[in-house]
A and B are shown apart, each in its own frame.
Chain A
Amino acid sequence: MTPRRKQSCAIFLLGIVLLSILPIACGPEDYQKSIQQFQDASNVVINATEAFLNNMNTIEQNKQLDQTVFEKKPLDLPALNKVEIISPDEIRLRTGALNALAQYTSNLAQLAQGNAGSAVTASTSQLSTSLQTLAQDAKKLPGPQSSFLNNPKFSGILSSAASAVGAVAQLIVEHKARREIEKSIIDNDAAVTALIQQISDDAEGAYLRQKNQLSEYGVQLSRDYDLEIRRDPDPVLLLILAKNIKTYRAKESQIPAADPSPAIAKMKDAHQALVSYVKSNKSPKNLSELIATVQDLANAASPLGQAIQNLISASL
């Protein structure tokens, strides 16, 4: 065997050894670190989602303001403030539910480690109540034609998830056996996962609408400029249009990175990986997968917060 071939064999064998010990290498410290990482990343995603949804109204209001000024119509700022594509309640209920689900996942992670202390019990019980309240509030959201979001669907899925978390919370409060609690977590998880997916879909819908509003605004600006240069153009107006086009281009370049839905989908992946870990009776392989999905979530969350800040700054 040539020295080069010996070296290749050694690298190959080392790779196999590393792959086989990797699951074992994830210990309790890695697990605790992952829980913290999940909480931190989830907070970033939730705050970013809230800022992104709020920005929908800002984009629409700015679009109408520009059009009013361009058409030399009187300004009615109070009326402009009422232009709302998504209501504060619609945003609050979705981010509130996401927040509760992130906390629920963290509590499950503590339970999976056998840390069913009074803090986790109280927190899970409180989360169940919060989700029930959110579900009641969601029933009062406007129906079709009043909102671009599917509020009845969201409300139904939220109610199911609230019942699912309630069932798990009840067993924890009653100090049932760990096996029984874990079985309940697994049995009820479809409803919880469906809610995270629905919030991700709603965020994706919001992203698509926001992207289109911006795109249509770009068409409008381009058309205004085209019509202006066909007559005796007003240089001041052309400069104002050029300034608006620059702002539009800055926003347009930021929007793809500001879509929160992929990061919410990764929250769902991390949650599912945790449930799989519980289901597998905490196998090292599933622990490695859990740590990897949480890392994916953290990687998605970090640039998202910055992208949304850039998008909002570009609107100013």
Chain B
Amino acid sequence: MTLIEVAKVIGDDLTQIDTRLQTPGLSDADWQTLFALRKHLDDIQRDLIQESINEADQKYQALTTQLQQASNQLATVITNLSKVSDIIATVAQVAAKADEILNLAG
């Protein structure tokens, strides 16, 4: 996976998070937590676009696979409006993997 493809995966996650943030029903506290995670992911995406990386690096490849898995998980949980804590936990997982990729690139 290229860095621009990683940025695209994060972009797709952000679109899903934004749809959730625009849907009524979240408590103020949950909305703020999810929005803060959104801002963090957005910052990571911006920084990743500026970076260069050795795409053949095994650690990088393993991390991108884990990021993709966390994103797939997000696509599953985000539609369940009654389990906001699961959504927040999965977004945090996506952000953690994206952070690791950024640290590897930076």
Q: Nearest CB to that of A202 among chain B residues?
A: B49
Q: Are A212 and B14 in contact (CB under 8 A)?
A: yes
- A209 interface residue (CB < 8 Å to B): yes
Q: How far is the CA of A201 from the CA of B31 in the complex (A)?
A: 33
Q: Are A149 and B50 in contact (CB under 8 A)?
A: yes
Q: Nearest CB to that of A156 among chain B residues?
A: B52
Residue-wise interface mask of A (88-104) relative to B, using a CB-CB cutoff of 8 A (1 in contact, 0 not): 00000000000000000
Shortest Cβ distance from B15 into chain A, in angstroms?
6
Q: Are A208 and B52 in contact (CB under 8 A)?
A: no
Contacts of B46 in A (CB 8 A): 148, 209
Q: How far is the CA of A149 from the CA of B48 in the complex (A)?
A: 9
- A180 interface residue (CB < 8 Å to B): no
- Chain B residues 1 to 49 lying within 8 A of chain A, measured CB to CB, are 2, 4, 7-8, 11, 14-15, 18, 21-22, 24, 31, 35, 38, 42, 45-46, 49
- B51 interface residue (CB < 8 Å to A): yes
Q: Are A147 and B22 in contact (CB under 8 A)?
A: no
Which of A144, A145, A204 contacts B8 (CB under 8 A)? Answer: A204
Q: Are A150 and B14 in contact (CB under 8 A)?
A: no
Which of B4, B14, B51 contacts A215 (CB under 8 A)? Answer: B14
Q: How far is the CA of A7 from the CA of B3 in the complex (A)?
A: 53
Shortest Cβ distance from A259 into chain B, in angstroms?
11
Q: How far is the CA of A205 from the CA of B7 in the complex (A)?
A: 8
Given known contacts A204-B8, A208-B11, A219-B22, is B50 in contact with A147 (CB within 8 Å)? yes
- Chain A residues 37 to 80 lying within 8 A of chain B, measured CB to CB, are none
Q: Are A201 and B4 in contact (CB under 8 A)?
A: yes
Which of A145, A209, A211, A218 contacts B49 (CB under 8 A)? Answer: A209
Q: Nearest CB to that of A213 among chain B residues?
A: B42
- A178 interface residue (CB < 8 Å to B): no
Interface size on A, as a range, is 20 to 34
- A216 interface residue (CB < 8 Å to B): yes
Contacts of A219 in B (CB 8 A): 18, 21-22, 35, 38
Contacts of B7 in A (CB 8 A): 204-205, 208
Q: Are B45 and A208 in contact (CB under 8 A)?
A: yes
Shortest Cβ distance from A220 into chain B, in angstroms?
10
Q: How far is the CA of A149 from the CA of B31 in the complex (A)?
A: 31
Q: Are B11 and A148 in contact (CB under 8 A)?
A: no
- A282 interface residue (CB < 8 Å to B): no
Shortest Cβ distance from A11 into chain B, in angstroms?
43
Contacts of A222 in B (CB 8 A): 21-22
Q: Nearest CB to that of B22 among chain A residues?
A: A222
- A226 interface residue (CB < 8 Å to B): yes
Q: Are A212 and B50 in contact (CB under 8 A)?
A: no
Shortest Cβ distance from A244 into chain B, in angstroms?
14
Contacts of A148 in B (CB 8 A): 46, 49-50
Contacts of A208 in B (CB 8 A): 4, 7-8, 11, 45, 49
Q: Are B15 and A215 in contact (CB under 8 A)?
A: yes
Q: Are B49 and A205 in contact (CB under 8 A)?
A: yes
Residue-wise interface mask of A (190-211) relative to B, using a CB-CB cutoff of 8 A (1 in contact, 0 not): 0000000000010011001101
Shortest Cβ distance from B51 into chain A, in angstroms?
7
Q: Provide 14 A-B residue pairs closer than 8 Å at the C-beta atoms, listed in order of the A residue.
A: A148-B49, A150-B49, A150-B50, A204-B8, A208-B4, A208-B7, A208-B8, A208-B11, A211-B15, A212-B14, A215-B15, A216-B42, A219-B22, A222-B21
Q: Closest 4 CB pairs between A and B?
A: A205-B49, A222-B22, A215-B18, A208-B11
